[in-house]
Each structure stands twice: as C-alpha cells, then as structure tokens.
Chain A
Amino acid sequence: MAAARSRLRSAAGPAAPDPWPTIMREFEGRPADLVPVLQRTQEAFGYLSPDSVRRVARWLKLSESDVFGVATFYAQFRFSPPGRHRLRVCLGTACHVKGGVQMLETLERRLAVEAGQTTPDGEYDLERVVCLGCCALAPVVTVDDAIYGQMSVLRLQGLLDEHAHA
C-alpha cells in the first residue's frame, strides 16, 4: 500500500508516465480479469475514478454498469482519492470485546469524520475493518502499514499527537 501511495505521489508529478499501458500489458483483457484489473488500477491511481471505470469497461468489453456493479460489491474498492495516511480500526470480534468501538469513536471525534471518509485536508482516511488477524493483540489500530496493538483511548490519543507532529 505504501508503495502504491508513493507511486501515486510521483504520478502527480509533471513527468508522470501514464500507467495504463503497463496495466494493460499485465492482463489478457478477458472479462474474467475484471477483479484483478480493478485491483491493479486502484493500486496505480489510489482509487477508481469514473474515467478508470470507463476505460476498464471498454478494454474488457463490459458495460460500465457491469464494472461498477462488481466494483461496488467488494469492500476493497474506493471511488474517491485516498488521503495521505490511512487509519484503520479493527472491529473483529476480539477487538470488539476489547473496546474497538471506542477506538473508532475516538478517531471519529478527533478527526471530525466518520468511518469511510477522508479528512477535508486530505491527511487521513478513516476506515473500519473486520479483522486484521492480529486478534491476540486486540484492540488493534493501523496507521499506514504500521500495526499498533493493545490500544487504549489514551494510547491512541498519544499516537495521533505523535503522528501529527512527525
């Protein structure tokens, strides 16, 4: 993900190469490639724009509504540009019984956004996930690729302060 994001930043630069030819070389262009193609597209652009969906539809000879239908079915795909940092709160069972909801609410309050949204300054994405598989360390919060276990409301506040000043 971090790699995808840095690529994203460089893609915003003036001489950013168009990622489409690379993507299109990686697949045979069959309709069955749709999910991996969308995954690859999101990796390159950070999200699925209406333009990306149109291009994928034409390429795989599907209708745009088919492509949207599949993309919106899966939780992985997003349709707006991502924030610079990705905060994820695990709400798997173990995290739930150990206070994951409070972690999410703390973040929602601090960042003044709801789960699934990006802060207006584009700094943070706040997401809820169902189980990152680190249940033994519940409750778990991740910042980009770093996993923080055994969180508490206070530790989370500290983490945010640290991150904001970093």
Chain B
Amino acid sequence: MSTRTLERRRRRAATRWAALAASPRPVVYIGMGSCGLAAGAAAVLAAVRAHLAERAIDAEIVSVGCIGPCYLEPIFDVQLPGRPRVSYSNMTAELAVKTLDALLAGEAPRRHLIGRFDAADGDGHFAPGDADLAGLPRFLDHAMLRHQTRIVLRNCGVIDPEQLDHYLARGGYRAFESCLEMPWSDVIETVKASGLRGRGGAGFPTWLKWSKCREIDNDARNLICNADEGDPGAFMNRSLIEGDPHALLEGMLIAAYAIGAAHGYIYIRAEYPLAVRRLRSAIAAMSKLGLLGEHILGSDFSFDITLKEGAGAFVCGEETALIASIEGRRGMPRTRPPYPAVSGLWGRPTIIDNVETLATLPAIIGGGAEWYASHGTEASKGTKTFALVGKVRRTGLIEVPFGTTLRTVIYDIGGGLTKDFKAVQTGGPSGGCLSEEFLDTPIEYENLAAAGSIMGSGGLIVLDRDTCIVDTARYFLSFTQAESCGKCVPCRVGTGHLVGILDAICEGRGELADLERLERLARVIKASSLCGLGQTAPNPVLSSLKYFREEFVEHIVDKRCRAAVCRDLVVYRVLPERCTGCERCVAVCPTGAITGPRSEPHNLDPEKCIKCRSCYEVCRFDAIAGDAIVIESRGQSDA
C-alpha cells in the first residue's frame, strides 16, 4: 500500500468516525477492558443487546477499552441521535437497561451519571450538546479526570481497540509516515528534544540508548517491546494495550525506523490474555494494510513484529533475562556490558523499550518535541501513567504530567482515603514506602530516587493506618525472594535472610539488633547483586526502616502491631456491650471458637480461634450484628 492509499483509507475512516458521532441510530459504548469485564461488563453488554433487540431498536454497540476510573466500572455510554455521548457508572444489567430506557424516553437520569462528552473533547469528534443535556456535567470534569493530562492514553476508552479505522480516524500512523520522510537521525533528534526517558522505571534517556545502538556497525538490529509488566499492583501497560494497541505498534514502527531494526518482538505476560488477543488482531490488521513487511508504504524500510508470550517469571522484566527467555533459555540475567544495545538478542544490537515509552512516540512525533516537552518538569518531561490503587477512594489508571505532587494524585485525583494516610508505595517491589512528609514532593525520577524509592513503571499503592508497614516490607521481600532467579548469591541467599528476619519481627520473635542486621544485609545485597532485581530488592525494607522505624521497634519491643495485621500479634475479641447475640458469627466460625446462647453476648475462645476473619466480617456487614468483634493488638483496647 502506498502513502496515498493509506491517506484515502484514513479519510474514509475519519468520515465514518465523524458519522458515528452524528449517527442517526443510538450508539452504546461499553468499557470492555479487563477491569470492566471483571466488574461485570459482559453481563451489561448482553442485557443491553437483548433489550435493544426486544424493543426492535436499531442501535450500534461499540466496545471500548478502559477510560481510567476502574472503580466506576462497568461504565457504559449512550449517544442518542443529535445528542452528546453520556456516560454512566457502576452498571448492572438491570440498571443499564433502565438507564437506556429513560434516555430513550427523553429523560436524562442523574443516578450513576458520570458526565457527557461534548464537541470540545476528543478532536471535535463528539457532537455538540443539545439544550436538554447541556446542563449535565462534562465527563472530563469528573474529579478523577480533571487533573489529568491524557497524552498516551488519549484513545483509551474512546475508540474501539479492535478497529484500526478508529485509530486511523484519529490521525493514526500519520506520525510514522512523517518519520519516513525524514532521515532516521532526525527522529532520534526529535525524541532527544522531547526529553523522553524510559518509562519502564529506570528513566534512561530513550534517544541516548537508541543512538548507542545505531553506532554499532551491524544492520541486523532488533527492537523489543517489554510488556512483561510484572510488578504486583501495576496494570498501566495492560490497560494501554487493551485500549489502544495501535499506539504501541505505531511507536514500534517509529523506534524501529530510528534505530534501523528489521525485526521487532513484543514480550508480553501470558497472564494478560485479552491484551495478547488485542495485539494479535491489531498486528494482523496492520499487516493487511501493508504497515508491516517489506518496503513499508513503498519506502526502503522493512519491519516485522513477533509476539512472544512470557511464561511467568518476574525477572524477565530485566532486559538480559528477557533476551535469554526469547532465545528459549531460562530467563536469567547476565553481566553487562556488553549492553543489549551493543550485543543483545542473538548477539545483535537490540533496543528494549517499555510499552509506555513506545506508545508515547506517535504523540511526540505528531505533536512535536517542543509541545511534548512543555509538559512536566525540566528533568522529567512529559506525562506518566500510574495505576492508582490501594486504600484510595477512586482507583484506576491515570496519566499526569511529571511534577504533579503525590498529594494531588492521592487526594485530588484519588479522592483521598477513608482512614488516616500512612504511606504511598511507588515502584513496586523495587521501590519503597514514602511517608506523609513526601506528599508535596513533585513526582520526578530524581525526587523519588532521592527519597529512597523509585519511579518504577507506575504502580502507586496507597496504604492507610490499617496497613502494617513491617508486613508490607515482608510481602515485597517474599515476592522478590521467590522471583530471584538464583544465579547470584547476594540475591538468592540474601533476600532469603531478609525475609527470615522480617518473619521473626512480624511473629514477635524479633530483637532490636535485627534492625541493624536488616540494614547491613540490605546494603550488601544492593551493592553486590548481578541485576536490577537484586540491586533494588532491599528498597522496601530500607525505605520502611528509614521512615517507619518506630513500627519495627513496636513489633520487637512491645510485641504490638498497630495496624492489627500481623497475625501472631493480634487477638480477636467480642465486645460484650456491643454484641447483640445474633449468632451470625457462631454460624460462620469454622472452628467453633465462638459460642453463646442467642441474645446474649457471645464468647470467643482464643485457643480455638484461627483468626480467619469470618466473624469479623459478618459482624461488620450484617445489619443485625453490632460491630462487636474487634481485631486488636496490644495497647489497643478500643480499636
């Protein structure tokens, strides 16, 4: 296919896309990302489809990706002829049908309403609002979206990710085309001027890695997209691929052109079946259009993409381990240098970039380096996506400019917590827990590193006073210890000892000297491990010890866990004055630890109690019960 035919196709796609906004038929959009599906989007879709058929209404149904506020899923939008697209949250099959009927009857129900899209949103795609719906709030004014700058996520939740035409209609593959018209060195220069740094976590300047690879006199270069998003608590890459796979694929074309790669690989977690499916169909659609293969768009540039599914090993996020895995070996890292940019996959110069880094490229080329660099700060330019989860009110996928403070992210975007803030964990198992004093820290690579954490790929886990810092540190260390590949001693043996000491502290067997042991061991592991996994594994321990040392001391000296999490340091108790004697807890207790005649305060035998939480839950959530069961640690008589 030539550039001209592609432009024709794009124009046709744009016309159709505009026609969708001005459709004479009702259009229903449903968020069908993993988060939407987990919340029940499939049932909503089925019910809406059946209802439309029953009422003999000729409507169009568009499946879109995740638009970000996962806590509002399933989200469904309705656009009636001549009216704007209106979005509703937390739908069930029944609610969706009811809302649809109300809208069709000319009403504008407010229940579960998120907001409307209007002509100002999404490149003028959306129809102008009519008088009836003009009073509704705008979707993008929603508290979770207002503070965001959506550059890499611009298409997520807006287009159907399975429709290449939707992507084309929004200017898709135009950035790549313009790259073909310039020498590769100009592409690298543009990326340099944009200030783009690796979004996988380390923040290495993208252009620098690329030019090092270009310097090598070997034309068989490779490009690998690292989509092995293994950090527990992070799903930015998954959502992006599910919602807008072509942004990544166009980014790969741009990167491959810049570094002169002929072969591309996407190394993706097998745990993301939907993302894998989306990529597979997107690659097929691209090939059909001639955007992959020999002499793409009649140029001298040839490129193909192979999908490689990971087999479940966190260490394969490390670039040399990832390469070993693609080569069919155990995913174990090796010493560097040589860096993969010099000698990587099959011994050839190889660039490995993260999903978000690559998916940002079309926006940078399309919008210009200067425009992109106008977002963010001097040292960290542009925007970054984060998975905002944990104990915040509004959870989901967000994108903010660098320099935004953690406070803005947690309180303005996330809506704050229901209980007292304790810490925010950034960077996953390689990062650390930051205390309240860092809330006003602007999010930048250097700032987070200076605070003892890292940017990481973008997991932001908010912890409240019900989260135990020692237990959290132990959790991360158990994770890295289990995922350590075993090649180098400091990581294999050292992390095991860290876990052992943390276990002892959590179980009330710790001694004060353990804290120094932890710190010393952590420093040795950081200094002497072979790869990034081991070098960063102790960060959760070191940062927690730095900012929350008193909690460690409490566990050791007072045998007390103030969050009432560490099992060996808590007891379950019935508060007789609150107990209504409803016997709900007696019924759910698996060990018969709770007894009591009906209507009298129950008795809980701590010897039999296995601390399974069943009674606690039933007492909290059953209307008849009286919140009478408490889980408490020492010195917490009224917890």
A-to-B contact residues, CB < 8 Å: 1, 30-36, 38-39, 69-70, 73-77, 91-94, 96-99, 102, 105-106, 109, 129-138, 140, 147-149, 152-154, 157
Contacts and interface: CB of A to CB of B under 8 A. Distances in A.
A93 B272 CA distance: 17
B38 A134 contact: yes
Given A39-B311, A102-B613, A134 B467 contact: no
B34 A133 contact: yes
A139 B494 CA distance: 30
B388 to A, nearest CB: 8
A109 B463 CA distance: 28
B110 interface: no
A147 B233 CA distance: 16
B313 A74 contact: yes
B621 A92 contact: no
Given A102-B612, A106-B612, A137-B38, A130 B311 contact: no
Nearest to B614: A153
A154 B612 contact: no
A73 B234 contact: no
B391 interface: yes
Given A34-B328, A91-B232, A135-B233, A147 B612 contact: no
A135 B395 contact: yes
B613 A136 contact: no
Nearest to B272: A133
A92 B233 contact: yes
Contacts of B229: 133
Q: 7 shortest A-B CB distances, which residue pairs?
A: A136-B70, A75-B312, A93-B233, A74-B311, A92-B232, A133-B235, A136-B395
Point out which of A36, A77, A140 has the most chain B C-beta atoms below 10 A from its C-beta.
A36
Given A75-B313, A93-B475, A134 B34 contact: yes
Contact of B39 (A30, A135, A137): A137
25 contacts: A31-B328, A32-B326, A35-B328, A70-B328, A73-B485, A74-B313, A75-B311, A75-B313, A76-B312, A77-B311, A93-B475, A94-B232, A94-B461, A102-B612, A131-B231, A131-B234, A131-B271, A133-B229, A135-B389, A136-B35, A136-B389, A137-B35, A138-B389, A154-B618, A157-B614
Given A93-B232, A134-B35, 9 more contacts: A39-B309, A73-B332, A75-B311, A93-B476, A94-B233, A96-B472, A134-B70, A136-B73, A137-B39
B304 to A, nearest CB: 15
B37 interface: yes
B336 interface: no
A32 B327 contact: yes
B328 A136 contact: no
B389 A109 contact: no
B590 interface: yes
Contacts of A33: 328
Contacts of B73: 136
Given A76-B312, A149-B39, A97 B617 contact: no
Nearest to A97: B467
Contacts of A94: 232-233, 389-390, 395, 461
A73 B73 CA distance: 36
A154 B588 contact: yes
B621 A97 contact: no
B245 interface: no
Contacts of A153: 588, 612-614, 617
Contact of A136 (B330, B396, B428): B396
Point out which of A109, A132, A133 has the most chain B C-beta atoms below 10 A from its C-beta.
A133
Given A93-B425, A154-B617, A133 B271 contact: yes
Given A93-B461, A154-B588, A32 B328 contact: yes
B330 A70 contact: yes
A93 B327 contact: no
B612 A105 contact: yes
A97 B327 contact: no
Point out which of B326, B330, B588 has the most chain A C-beta atoms below 10 A from its C-beta.
B330
B387 interface: yes
A130 B232 contact: yes
A69 B313 CA distance: 14
Contacts of B314: 130
Nearest to A138: B389
B235 A135 contact: yes
Interface string B167-201: 00000000000000000000000000000000000
Interface in B292-325: 308-314, 325
B96 to A, nearest CB: 18
B309 to A, nearest CB: 6
A113 B283 CA distance: 42
Contacts of B329: 34, 70
Contacts of B534: none
A39 B231 CA distance: 22
A95 to B, nearest CB: 8
B438 interface: no
A94 B613 CA distance: 18
A94 B428 CA distance: 11
Contacts of B330: 69-70, 73
B461 A97 contact: yes
Interface string B587-625: 010100000000000000000000011100110010000
Contacts of B331: 73-74
Nearest to B38: A147
A158 B461 CA distance: 29
B221 interface: no
B425 A136 contact: no
A62 to B, nearest CB: 9
B411 interface: no
Nearest to A105: B612
Contacts of A135: 70, 233-235, 387, 389, 395, 459, 461
A124 to B, nearest CB: 18
Given A35-B311, A131-B232, A132-B271, A137 B612 contact: no
Given A39-B270, A93-B425, A154-B621, A131 B233 contact: yes
Interface in B368-391: 387, 389-391
B311 A76 contact: yes
B390 A137 contact: no
Nearest to B68: A136
A99 B256 CA distance: 44
B238 interface: yes
A134 B235 contact: yes
B609 to A, nearest CB: 13
A131 B308 CA distance: 20
B548 interface: no
Contacts of A73: 313, 330-332, 485
A163 B631 CA distance: 30
B71 interface: yes
Nearest to B467: A97
A97 B231 contact: no
